[in-house]
Amino acid sequence: MGEEMAGNLERPHEPLAESAPMAWALAPGLCPGDPASHDTCVWYHRVWQYLRLLGIITSIRTNTSFLLDTFEGLADTHPRVLITASADYGMLAHLKHAFGDRPLDVTLVDRCPTSVRLNQWYADRLGFTLSSTCGDVRAVETDRPFDLVCTHNFVGRFDADARLDLARRWHALLRPGGAVVTTQRVRPGSREARASYTREQARELGATVAAAAAAYPGALGVTPDALSQATFEYALRKGAYIVTSPQEIAETFERAGFEVRVADEGGGPAERETDRPSSTAGPDTYRMRLVAVKT
């Protein structure tokens, strides 16, 4: 499938050059809400894959080694998987790569039809079945408990109370022995409640994207100026609740009834050198890793 290589690590196949123009075209018609309002996610989904394609952010690839190793260890005993929210098909690609030919029964829940469409496109392309639905995972019910729940940098979308509700819903959706595998951006020592860009930082990001787009050797399906303006809007609207330590997340999962098996500071200095977050996070931040088991 033409896997990309990074050092000795074989990465999942992610055809971003094909799907980034697709997301750009689909988002205005599929993302819910008025595109001019703050309630829609057009600003997010139309530009996200371009940021990844152009190397502006690393996103899920920051955690590829952790995810593949963890999923590989769970593949024989955790075939029924729930993906909770997914900006694109990155998590699905990591699951499929780790599971290989072993049984994989995946359900995706996301509030946005654009994300659902991208994931379905990817599953169809690789020839496997994906069950997907639009909605809020905190409202999901099932009579077939899941073996595994996975998501990437998602819990920071919620404040402390809502985060606990989310962890409790995951606990209810899992069978005994089922696991949650996730990561989360951590900003040690931050005194802010939320992370956000200033207008100047947003303009700088837009200029960086324009330069990268102009230098890109292939066809992008969008002009550098249009992509720069979309990136500026993305940066102004993007925000998340700040997490200051792995313990903050681990304690939430313990309160929800999980046994936390892993809650560490990620891959260490080497990982932080290559990590490019889609935020104003400085060099002292990192992506924590968490594995929590329903006992």
Tens-digit pLDDT profile for residues 131-154: 999 999 999 999 999 999 999 999
Nearest to 76 by CA among 104, 44, 96: 104
Tens-digit pLDDT profile for residues 249-279: 999 999 999 999 999 999 888 888 888 876 6
Rounded to two decimals, the pTM is: 0.93
Separation CA 60–CA 57 (nearest Å): 9
Name the helix (H) or strand (E) containing 10.
Answer: strand 9-10
Domains recognised in the chain with CATH numbers: 60-193+239-294 (3.40.50.150)
Q: Which two three-digit tokens encode residue 281? A: 């996070």
Interval 28-36 mean pLDDT:
84
At 281, the pLDDT band (50, 70, 90 cuts) reads low
Interval 171-192 mean pLDDT:
94
Average pLDDT, the chain: 92
Separation CA 268–CA 290 (nearest Å): 15
DSSP E strand boundaries for the chain: 5-6, 9-10, 80-84, 105-110, 130-134, 146-150, 174-186, 194-196, 239-241, 258-264, 286-294
Interval 211-232 mean pLDDT:
97
At 191, the pLDDT band (50, 70, 90 cuts) reads confident
143 CB-contact burial (10 Å; exposed 0-12 / middle 13-18 / buried 19+): exposed
Q: Which two three-digit tokens encode residue 178? A: 């089922």
For residue 224, pLDDT beyond 60? yes
Separation CA 237–CA 233 (nearest Å): 6
At 284, the pLDDT band (50, 70, 90 cuts) reads confident
pLDDT of residue 126: 95
Tens-digit pLDDT profile for residues 35-87: 666 679 999 999 999 999 999 999 999 999 999 999 999 999 999 999 999 99
Separation CA 190–CA 286 (nearest Å): 13
- Other CB atoms closer than 10 Å to residue 264's CB: what's the count? 14
Separation CA 95–CA 64 (nearest Å): 10
Q: Which two three-digit tokens encode residue 37? A: 């309002």
Nearest to 10 by CA among 103, 72, 56: 72
pLDDT cut 70: percent of the chain above it: 94
- Other CB atoms closer than 10 Å to residue 268's CB: what's the count? 10
